[in-house]
């Protein structure tokens, strides 16, 4: 076994992979949010559809997307493996469950929250991403543009007409918020970025990020639903 595969299968190696993929996914969320906020413009979807066209046709962004899909899978599989290892380690000590440390409880909760988010991502990608790439969306050519773009906006708008989808999105964003809250802090700890002076600031930024990003995501379906 090479030193690299030894590192990747070691406990600390697995945690570092979780932290790095987690940070990448956290950054993706901010970019994804900025793009999605264009759904709130009152322009019949021109800004959003033009943005979605750019995101699916630019070769550099396409390459980063493959990294994104791989990160989601690696983060999910690794997270489940780590949670199972933690459980097995606890099982070795029969007193451990009742004396479970709060960090162990948090990691067990993270696994459950992660599984819910993974289910959300699969349904969400089927609903929008799959339709954007392989569905039969209508094409629109906006005035001043030379090429037609897919009308993803109307699909999103029609989806959020259903109160069920709005509730599903809002509840999922609460789960994302909890997962981010712990994940943000835990990835800094794993990477050893502990500093007497900066740690409280990092914790504060993590908390603000975990509230603000899911909150803004949740506002999108709510606004689109109620503005009709």
**Closer by beta carbon to ligand HEM, 100 or else 121:** 121
Residues 29-68 that bind ligand HEM (CB under 6 A): 32, 36, 52, 55-56, 65
Q: Find the helix or strand (DSSP H, E) in which 14 lies.
A: helix 11-36
**Dist CA 62 CA 192 (whole Å):** 32
Which one of 7, 24, 128, 165 is in contact with ligand HEM (CB under 6 A)?
Answer: 128
CA nearest to 33, candidates 189, 177, 131? 177
d(CA 66, CA 142): 29
> Does position 124 bind ligand HEM by CB under 6 A?
yes
Provide the H-helix boundaries in 37-142.
46-57, 59-91, 102-124, 131-134
Query: Residue 136 in contact with residue 19, Cβ under 8 Å?
Result: no
CB of 96 to ligand HEM, least distance (A): 32
Question: Measured from the CB atom, is 86 or 151 closer to ligand HEM?
Answer: 151
Across the strands, what pairs with 224? none
Q: Which range touches ligand HEM (CB under 6 A), out of 82-90, 100-108, 128-136, 186-194?
A: 128-136
- Pick the stretch among 6-14, 86-94, 103-111, 213-221 that binds ligand HEM (CB under 6 A): 213-221
What tokens were used for 221? 């379906």
Question: Interaction with ligand HEM in 163-192: which residues (CB under 6 A)?
Answer: 169, 176
Residues that bind ligand HEM (CB under 6 A): 32, 36, 52, 55-56, 65, 117, 121, 124-125, 128-129, 132, 152, 156, 169, 176, 217, 220-221
């Amino acid at each position: 076994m090479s030193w690299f595969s030894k590192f990747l299968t070691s406990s600390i190696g697995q945690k570092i992979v979780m932290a790095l993929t987690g940070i990448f996914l956290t950054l993706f969320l901010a970019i994804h949010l900025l793009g999605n906020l264009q759904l709130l413009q009152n322009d019949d979807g021109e800004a959003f559809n033009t943005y979605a066209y750019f995101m699916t046709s630019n070769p550099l962004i396409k390459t980063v997307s493959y990294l994104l899909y791989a990160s989601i899978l690696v983060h999910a599989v690794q997270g489940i493996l780590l949670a199972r290892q933690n459980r097995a380690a606890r099982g070795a000590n029969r007193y451990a469950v009742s004396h479970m440390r709060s960090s162990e409880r948090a990691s067990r909760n993270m696994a459950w929250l992660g599984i819910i988010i993974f289910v959300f991502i699969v349904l969400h990608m089927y609903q929008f991403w799959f339709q954007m790439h392989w569905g039969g969306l209508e094409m629109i050519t906006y005035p001043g543009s030379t090429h037609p773009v897919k009308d993803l906006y109307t699909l999103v708008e029609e989806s959020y007409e259903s109160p069920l989808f709005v509730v599903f999105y809002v509840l999922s964003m609460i789960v994302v918020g909890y997962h981010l809250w712990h994940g943000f802090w835990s990835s800094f700890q794993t990477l050893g970025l502990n500093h007497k002076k900066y740690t409280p600031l990092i914790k504060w930024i993590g908390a603000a990020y975990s509230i603000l990003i899911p909150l803004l995501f949740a506002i999108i379906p709510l606004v689109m639903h109620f503005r009709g």
